[in-house]
């Protein structure tokens, strides 16, 4: 995996900001989104109270959702990494089918 990784400290998508700045911005946007959801939930449920049993049920559902979202995101990252490696590895060995000289004229 190391030989495919970029050795540059800059992000490949944008040459304007270093990779760490992009990561910090992504974390900050995720945190602000979560904070907005919490504020919205508070405003919608401020006049309602729930018992301890429902509170623990909601906390358990939250932990399960966080765990599953992390696993799905890790699977997505793994797939994109493996797909990029396969394309990079197999592209030089691609051969055109017989009889196809130049399809675009």
pLDDT at residue 67, as a whole number: 92
- Express each pLDDT in 58-75 by its tens digit: 889 989 998 999 999 999
The percentage of the chain sitting over the pLDDT mark of 90, rounded to a whole number, equals 18
Is the predicted pLDDT of residue 10 greater than 50, yes or no? no
In this predicted model, which residue has the larger pLDDT, 31 or 8?
Answer: 31
Is the predicted pLDDT of residue 18 greater than 90, yes or no? no
What is the pTM (predicted TM-score) of this model? 0.46
Q: Where are the alpha helices (DSSP H) in 1-105?
A: 19-45, 52-90
- Please compute, for residue 40, the number of CA atoms within 13 A of its CA located in the half-sphere on the CB side: 6
- Distance CA(25)–CA(1), nearest Å, equals 26
């Amino acid at each position: 995996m190391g030989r495919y990784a970029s050795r540059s400290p800059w992000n490949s998508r944008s040459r304007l900001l270093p990779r760490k700045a992009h990561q910090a911005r992504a974390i900050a946007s995720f945190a602000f989104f979560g904070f907005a959801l919490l504020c919205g939930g508070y405003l919608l449920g401020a006049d309602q109270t729930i018992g301890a049993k429902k509170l623990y049920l909601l906390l358990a559902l939250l932990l399960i959702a966080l765990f599953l979202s992390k696993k799905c995101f890790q699977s997505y990252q793994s797939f994109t990494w493996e797909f990029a490696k396969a394309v990079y590895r197999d592209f030089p060995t691609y051969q055109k089918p017989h009889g196809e000289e130049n399809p675009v004229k």
